[in-house]
Amino acid sequence: MGHPLSSPEHARHALLYMWRIRKFEEAVEDLFGRGMMHGTMHLSIGQEAAPTGMCMALTLQDQITSTHRGHGHCIAKGADLTRMIAELLGKKIGYCGGRGGSMHIADVETGNLGANGVVGGGIPIAAGAALASKMMKRGTVAVSFFGDGAMNEGAFHEAANLAAIWKLPMILFCENNGYGMSSSTAKAFAIDDLADRGKGYGIPGVNVDGNDVVAVYEVAQAAVDRAKAGEGPTLIIAETYRWKGHSRSDKNLYRTKEEIEEWRTKDPIPKFIARAIEAKLLTQEQCDAIQNDAIEAIKAAVNESVKAEAAEPSGLLDAVFKAVTA
Amino acid sequence: MSDRMLTMAEAVREAMSIAFDERPEVFLLGEDVGIYGGAFGVSGDMYHRYGAERVLDTPIAELGIVGAAVGAALSGMRPIVEIQFSDFTAQAMDQIANQAAKIHFMLGGALHVPMVLRTPQGSGTGAAAQHSQNLEPWFASVPGLKVVVPSNPADAKGLLLAAIDDPNPVIFLEHKLLYKIPGRDPVPEGATRIPLGVSKVVREGKDLTIVATGIMVNKSYEVAEKLAAEGISITLIDPRTISPLDMQPVFESVEKTGRLLVVQEGPAQAGFINEVIAQMAGSSSFGSLIAPIKRLAGMNIPIPYAPQLEKAAVPQIEDIESAAREIVKNWR
Amino acid sequence: METGELINFHVKVGDQVKSGDVLFEVMTDKIDMEVEAPADGVIESLVVAPGAVVEIGKPVLIMLTETEVMAFDFGDDDQPVAGVEVATPAPSVEANVVAAAPIIVNTNVKAVPKARVEAANRGIDLRTVNPTGPDRTITMQDVNGAQLDPAIVKRQAANKALIAKGIEMTRAIAQASFNRQVTAHFDHASFIAAWAKVLRGRPDLAAHEHIGVALIIESKYGSALPVFRDPDQASLDDLRALVASTTDAAKNGKVPVAMLSGATTTVFDLTTYSMSSATPLLFPNQITSVTIGYDSQSSKNISLTIDLNFCDFYDGALLLDALVASL
């Protein structure tokens, strides 16, 4: 895609996708509150800049693996909003035909290898995708999005090491929102700077303001360039914050109202609007129109999904294995 | 002809080599599969024949390498991952059971995982509890995994070729004690596949049906040959693929013999072979039984070290022989 | 529905009633109904008052019938007179019509699955098969070799040929019943002992290793059928004690598990119901059954039903004569 401030079109893209993520998450919360959505949800409101900035450094063919808090990654990579909402509502036209739900959306067309219900589960998979890219000389990168909590999983360590020793075209993208559910990074890490972990694998570890879509894009693009040049993976630590609880059961007992309020003032969307207007790439009116576009897109997705046919249990048994073709 | 009497290690290597030659997307990764040739010598000279890029030595990181295989499989490759001992799959279980097995279903069929995980299992080498388990039921109980347990070199070759072709994750459990011994039958030349999910009737008899997996097929075969001289005629069925399981030949055979003996190496409790019993008990063939179903399985203990203890822990030829003889003698 | 409310009585103590007279009205949540006298008799007492809520099966009034006068001597002087408790009936609308289905007799016999299939196909009672398998389990060999007594086989063949000449009969209807009046004095224990002894003299008809006499005992829980094994081989005193205690237990719905199986014949005492005769049922795997009915103050009416697949009319007459003689 390119730098968010490189043209009005790029600026519009950055803003539109952040709004789409924000409005998508708000719609999910609304649908959940109305009892229309089953199960649970992990909202990424406040974290929109990180996936948007990262994915603006990617091509359609580049791959990602995502997390339980994965709606943003999915949208930033270009997924269809209707099929996403439909999946959350258990509809036949949903990305997984109702079999996966919020935590398992994948989209082959946009190189999304899927969200993952297991913390750290997607990191070795992204390493494998990067390995395949290297072996097949595809010239693509694989980005694994994960949270700070996943960095203490063995999967992170094993995958980071494999990617490093094989110089895989991979990016380890940590959205450090400060908490693994209720455990703060201060409690879960004995190091202050998570990017220091990169040294342990012999790869660069880079910190970035995860609420600044421009800054995120810049470190992401550098990491992509390095990966595509065959120099191996980069660990990016994007500092950000989730405004909402971990999931629907969260009572926010482990953090203060003041802390949440403080982070709300660091909202990535107005921050980018100010820069885009300052750079004379967008006007306030255009920004308002972009916000409105996002709202309309989500509304249309919800309206279509609600009317869509529910997923049916018939055929479940046949769905376990892909049919063997001679 | 005699040069086609391969060991299982040779047969597996031959199958992998054929797949390597047929498909550029096939590659092997695992601990010490390269220059070392594999802990049990299965990959042998493949590193020299195919190079370090297709015979990939990995660090000791089972979760990472299985995960990498999953990711590569999702991205157009057909990895064969070797885990040095099946016991170590415990390290990789998230990638096996939560990722590889579920991705196709959970993602609504958008993606699939054409991956083979080969791993040696079983007791008899004096390697004790953490290197000797038979873990058939671990894998057979996970929907989304196909599980193959070859009992001889010829089957191993044909089944592995089919497993590599299969668009789904396949767990391929090779018994260590079979690696170095030639099979009863020559291994066919060429790339003949043996379809997964088809049980094999190894020999036919009229008095008793034995269903056994892996190395127990070989032990049961010896028993069947020996008892034939005593006038006891035994049908031996090797499911070969324990998931999905093909029970039809078992039903058909029991309808003729009326007697069923099942044999597995792993512990009796919640073992795979219990599935055979359960399906028999719930089938219309149940009414053909003229004897109670007999199960021979490992003791419900970790595999012990000392040779006499290790032998005692899993069914031996003598156990199968006396069980078979008793069933036929007592139930007429 | 578990209770009914008594609305009013149509009778008072001392009234002479005839069978069919209305005794009282009862109201349930399903239906209001009039309850009729089951027999002729005199109202002895009213147990509950109008307005009372009575559990189904509990007495509402006690009526003395003529059966009191000709009650059995149960060998126990304290035995209560045979009154008829006219209880709150379950309304007939509650009755389910159960379609006739073959009765699967789950014997306590161990047999391999195919032996059961084979036995069922060939009409072999597995209880008659000698088990030679491990843990006394019947094997296929046992079933295949299960020889019915040659006398039975011969007789069966002869009878079947006979029957075939006349009309085709299924086993269910190939039965015949016989009646005789007896004046002898007996109780349940001496009766079943006598009947067992008669059967023991005809092993060709018994076709079992033992003789098990099922005695039907009515209780509020329904009919119980405790089985007395080889009652002719116990002392009469012991048998009386066993019959008495079993009868008490059965009336409380408790029959020892060991006594629930192994019946080879059934005895049904109709006098409990003030009945004189009924065609006794043949239970599966049994070829005889006997009823004791009321005949007169000094005599009983004994009925025998036999299965014509196993014996003929002459056998029936002989058996009944032998029984009557031994009473």
Taking 70 as the pLDDT cut, the residues of chain B under it are 1-3
Tell me which residue in B286, B290, B330 faces C115 most closely, judged by beta carbons. B290
Domain C113-165 and domain C175-326, same fold? Reply is no
Query: Would the CA dihedral through A180, A182, A184, A189 be positive or negative?
Result: negative
Nearest to B107 by CA among A65, C299, C104, C84: A65
| Average pLDDT of chain A, as a whole number | 96
Nearest to A135 among B73, B77, B94 (CB): B77
Rounded-to-integer distance, Cα B115 and Cα B145, Å: 10
CATH number of B2-178: 3.40.50.970
Indicate the pTM of the whole model: 0.74
Q: Which residues on A lie below 8 Å from B67 (Cβ)? A: 121, 123-125, 127-128, 155, 158-159
Residue A67 backbone dihedrals phi, psi, to 5 degrees: -125, -175
**Mean pLDDT in chain C?**
73
Q: So what's the pLDDT on residue C172? A: 45
The secondary element (H helix, E strand) that includes residue C46 is strand C41-46
B 103-162 residues inside an 8 A Cβ radius of A:
103-112, 143-144, 146
User: What are the catalytic residues of B?
Assistant: 62, 131
Question: Is any Cβ of chain B less than 8 angstroms from the Cβ of A129?
Answer: yes
Contacting residues for C184 by C-beta, under 8 A, at least 6 apart: C324, C327
Type of residue numbered A303:
N
Q: Which residue of B has its CA nearest to A93?
A: B108
Inter-chain CB proximity C112 and B287 less than 8 Å: no
B86-90: long-range pairs with CB below 8 Å, 24+ = B86/B119, B86/B120, B86/B121, B86/B133, B86/B134, B86/B135, B86/B173, B87/B121, B87/B130, B87/B131, B87/B132, B87/B133, B87/B135, B88/B62, B88/B119, B89/B62, B89/B117, B89/B119, B89/B135, B89/B138
Q: Are B226 and B264 in contact (CB under 8 A)?
A: no
Inter-chain CB pairs, B–C, below 8 Å: 32
Cβ <8 Å between B288 and C116: no
List residues of chain B with CB under 8 Å from any CB of chain C. Answer: 258, 286-292, 330-332
How many interchain CB pairs under 8 A, A with B?
Answer: 159
Chain-centroid distance, C-alpha A35 = 25
Is A68 within 8 Å of A115 (Cβ atoms)? yes
Half-sphere exposure in the Cβ direction for A51 (13 Å, CA): 35
Which residues of chain B neighbour C140 with C-beta distances below 8 Å? 258, 290, 331-332
Chains C and A touch (3+ CB pairs under 8 A): no
Report percent pLDDT > 90 for chain C. Answer: 8
Of A94, A125, A133, the CB nearest to B67: A125
Nearest CB to A118; choose among B27, B98, B143:
B98
For B287, the closest of C114, C134, C141 (CB atoms) is: C114
Rg (CA), chain C: 23
- Give which of B206, B283, B288, B290 to mutate to test C binding, by max C Cβ within 10 Å: B290
- Contact list, A324 vs chain B (CB under 8 Å): 165-168, 196
Gap between the Cα atoms of A109 and A62, Å rounded = 10
What CA–CA distances, in Å, run from A283 to A2, A212, A279, A297?
20, 19, 10, 21
Locate CATH 3.40.50.920 in chain B: 200-330
State the amino acid at position A320 in one-letter form. Answer: V
Q: How many CB atoms lie within 10 A of CB C182?
A: 18
Domains of chain A, first to last: 8-312 (3.40.50.970)
- Report the gap between the CA of A181 and the closest CA in chain B (Å): 20
The answer to whether the peptide bond before residue B244 is cis (omega within 30 degrees of 0) is yes
Chain B residues within 8 A of C113 when measuring between CB atoms: 286-290
The whole-number pLDDT of residue C234 equals: 86
Which pLDDT tens digit goes with each residue over A143-175? 999 999 999 999 999 999 999 999 999 999 999
| Closest residue of chain B to C145, computed from CA coordinates | B332
Note whether B245 contacts A: Cβ–Cβ < 8 A. Answer: no
Residues of chain B with CATH 3.40.50.970: 2-178
Is B106 close to A96, i.e. CB distance below 8 A? yes
B86 touches chain A (CB under 8 A): no
Looking only at Cα atoms, what is the longest distance across chain C? 68
Nearest CA-CA distance, residue A271 and chain B, Å: 35
Which residues pair with residue C9 across a beta bridge?
C24
Phi, psi torsion values for A70, nearest 5 degrees: -110, 0
Chain B residue with Cα closest to A140: B75
- Residue in chain C closest to B330 (alpha carbons) equals C133
pLDDT value of residue C174: 63
Task: Encode pLDDT of C87-137 as tens digits.
Answer: 554 443 333 333 333 333 445 678 999 998 888 777 777 877 888 888 888
Q: What pLDDT is recorded for position A9?
A: 98
Asked if A136 reaches chain B (Cβ–Cβ under 8 Å), the answer is yes
- Nearest alpha carbon to residue A232 among A166, A137, A134: A166
Spatial separation of the C-alpha atoms in residues B252 and B285, rounded to whole Å? 8
> Which contacts of A108-111 are long-range, i.e. CB under 8 A and separated by 24 or more positions?
A108/B110, A108/B111, A109/A60, A109/A78, A110/A60, A110/A77, A110/A78, A110/A79, A111/A58, A111/A60, A111/A61, A111/A62, A111/A63, A111/A64, A111/A77, A111/A140
Q: Which CATH number fits domain C175-326: 3.40.50.150, 3.90.1150.10, 3.30.559.10, 3.40.190.10?
A: 3.30.559.10
What is the topology classification, in CATH, of domain C3-93? OB fold (Dihydrolipoamide Acetyltransferase, E2P) (2.40.50)
Q: Which amino acid is at C195?
A: W
B260 strand-pairing partners: B209
Report residue B299: phi and psi, to 5°. Answer: -70, 160
In this predicted structure, the answer to whether residue C277 has a pLDDT above a threshold of 50 is yes
Rounded CA-CA distance B298/B216 in Å is: 11
Integer Cα distance of C23 and C12 in angstroms: 9
| HEC string for chain A | CCCCCCCHHHHHHHHHHHHHHHHHHHHHHHHHHCCCCCCCCCCCCCCCHHHHHHHCCCCCCCEEECCCCCHHHHHHCCCCHHHHHHHHCCECCCCCCCCCCHHHCCEHHHCECCCCCCCCCHHHHHHHHHHHHHHCCCCCCEEEEEEHHHHHCHHHHHHHHHHHHCCCCEEEEEEECCEECCEEHHHHCCCCCHHHHHHHHCCCEEEEECCCHHHHHHHHHHHHHHHHCCCCCEEEEEECCCCCCCCCCCCCCCCCHHHHHHHHCCCHHHHHHHHHHHCCCCCHHHHHHHHHHHHHHHHHHHHHHHHCCECCCCCCHHHCCCCCCC
Tokens 């039984």 sit on residue? B289
Shortest CA distance to B157 belongs to which of B13, B1, B302? B13
Strands (E), C119-264: 175-182, 212-219, 222-224, 227-229
A114 touches chain B (CB under 8 A): yes
What pLDDT is attached to residue B157?
Answer: 98
Q: What is the identity of the amino acid at C175?
A: Q
List CB contacts (< 8 A) between B111 and chain A: 106, 108, 113-114
pLDDT band at C79 (very low <50, low <70, confident <90, very high): very low
Residue C284, pLDDT score: 67
DSSP assignment of C214-234: EEEEEETTEEE--EEESGGGS
pLDDT per residue as tens digits for the range B209-256 = 999 999 999 999 999 999 999 999 999 999 999 999 999 999 999 999
CB neighbours (10 Å) of residue B281? 12
- C163-201 pLDDT, tens per residue? 444 333 344 456 677 788 888 888 999 999 999 988 888
Looking at CA atoms only, how far is residue B283 from chain C in angstroms? 12
Tell me if B258 and C141 make a contact (CB, 8 A cut-off): no
CB contact under 8 A, B64 and A95: no
Q: Which fold has domain C113-165?
A: Dihydrolipoamide Transferase (4.10.320)
Give me the interface pTM, i.e. the ipTM: 0.94
Task: Give the three-state DSSP class for C288.
Answer: strand
Rounded Cα distance, C247 and A51, in Å = 83
B64 vs A130: CB contact, 8 Å cut-off? Answer: no
Partner B contacted by A326 (CB < 8 A) = no
Q: Do C140 and B286 touch (CB under 8 A)?
A: no
Angstrom distance (rounded) from CA A164 to CA B154: 40
Gap between the Cα atoms of A233 and A163, Å rounded: 6
pLDDT tens, N- to C-terminus, chain A (326 residues): 899 999 999 999 999 999 999 999 999 999 988 888 888 889 999 999 999 999 999 999 999 999 999 999 999 999 999 999 999 999 999 999 999 999 999 999 999 999 999 999 999 999 999 999 999 999 999 999 999 999 999 999 999 999 999 999 999 999 999 999 999 999 999 999 999 999 999 999 999 999 999 999 999 999 999 999 999 999 999 999 999 988 877 878 899 989 999 999 999 999 999 999 999 999 999 999 999 999 999 999 999 999 999 999 998 998 999 999 86
Q: Do C112 and B292 touch (CB under 8 A)?
A: yes
Record the tokens describing residue A98, joined without a space.
Answer: 């109702």
Q: Quick one: tokens of C266?
A: 């059934």
Q: Which residues of C touch B291 (CB under 8 A)?
A: 112, 139
CA dihedral C39, C45, C51, C57 (to 10 degrees): -50
Cα end-to-end span (Å), chain C = 45
B79 at interface of A, judged by CB pairs closer than 8 A: yes
Question: Does residue B209 sit at the A interface (CB-CB below 8 Å)?
Answer: no
CB contact under 8 Å between B287 and C116, yes or no, is yes
- Token pair listed for A61: 């063919």
Q: How far is B75 from chain A (nearest CA, A)?
A: 6
CATH number assigned to the domain covering B200-330 = 3.40.50.920
The partner residue sitting opposite C133, judged by closest CB among B286, B288, B331, is: B331
User: Exposed, middle or buried: residue B167 (CB in 10 Å: 0-12, 13-18, 19+)?
Assistant: middle
A50: nearest Cα among A266, A233, A214, A271? A214
